[in-house]
Amino acid sequence: MLTFVTGNYGKYVSVKNKFSESQINLNYYKCDLEEPNINDIDFISKTKAYQAYEKIKKPCFVSDTGFYVEDYPNHPNYPGAFAKRSGVSTNIDQLLDTLKDTTNRHAYFLDCLTFYDGQKFYTFYGRSEGTIAFEKRGLSKKEAKSNLWLVFIPQNHHHTLAEMTDEELNNRHDNHTSATDLFLKWYLNEYQKNK
């Protein structure tokens, strides 16, 4: 059984359905892991995967997401891996106020999922391009990874993630890639067969 270690229940809910569809049992271990103070999503993910393994002593994975605003005033591509610690993902009103005079509202999520089996790290990336709305739109959802869903409009769409129905979320046409999907495919087709 695979174990997902995270303190964010929304992250767990968002991946649980994908694992169920692939008939893989997913164990949830609720734990907030310490993040190194560096704006490098890959390094953070691997550090947390190692911590998680040391805590539960069995193969597990972690998932982290960076949020990059192309023309963030005086700080391009901010906040990156600091989305949570900077307060950007929790204080959406402040983010909107900071960007009120910004015309280029392009942003993207970068997901980084790292699986560690005690011997080797396996890392997968997902990316979702889009823009930031001028106001909060939609309702908070249990599967939302962050409050940024209220303002993030995926490429080729007119609604924020928080406005989308489950069907719209599952059938997005924004060319996004999913770290979870890539990991599942690899785990089923390569990792399990070599064990």
Average pLDDT over residues 149-156: 96
Mind listing the pLDDT tens digit for each residue in 132-152?
999 999 988 777 778 999 999
Q: What is the CATH number of the domain that holds 12?
A: 3.90.950.10
The Cα 185–Cα 173 span in angstroms is 20
Q: Which domain holds residue 15?
A: 2-194
Confidence of residue 195 (pLDDT cuts 50, 70, 90): low
In whole numbers, what is the pLDDT of the chain averaged over residues?
Answer: 92
**What per-residue confidence (pLDDT) applies to 54?**
97
Task: Answer yes or no: is pLDDT of 174 > 80.
Answer: yes
Higher pLDDT pick, 14 / 163: 163
**What per-residue confidence (pLDDT) applies to 138?**
94
User: Would residue 150 be called left, alpha or beta, if left means φ above 0 and alpha means ψ between -120 and 50 degrees?
Assistant: alpha
Query: Total structural domains in the chain?
Result: 1
Confidence of residue 16 (pLDDT cuts 50, 70, 90): confident
Q: How is the chain split among helix, strand and coil, in percent rounded to 5?
A: 30, 25, 45
**What per-residue confidence (pLDDT) applies to 84?**
86
**What per-residue confidence (pLDDT) applies to 101?**
95
Average pLDDT over residues 54-73: 96
Helix, strand or coil, per DSSP, at residue 93? helix
Q: To the nearest whole percent, how much of the chain has pLDDT over 90?
A: 73
Mind listing the pLDDT tens digit for each residue in 73-122?
999 999 999 998 899 999 999 999 999 999 999 999 999 999 999 999 99
Nearest to 185 by CA among 56, 61, 18, 39: 18
Higher pLDDT pick, 18 / 117: 117
**What per-residue confidence (pLDDT) applies to 47?**
97
**What per-residue confidence (pLDDT) applies to 186?**
94
The Cα 189–Cα 186 span in angstroms is 5
Give the global pTM: 0.86
| Window from 24-38, 139-153, 175-189 with minimum mean pLDDT | 139-153
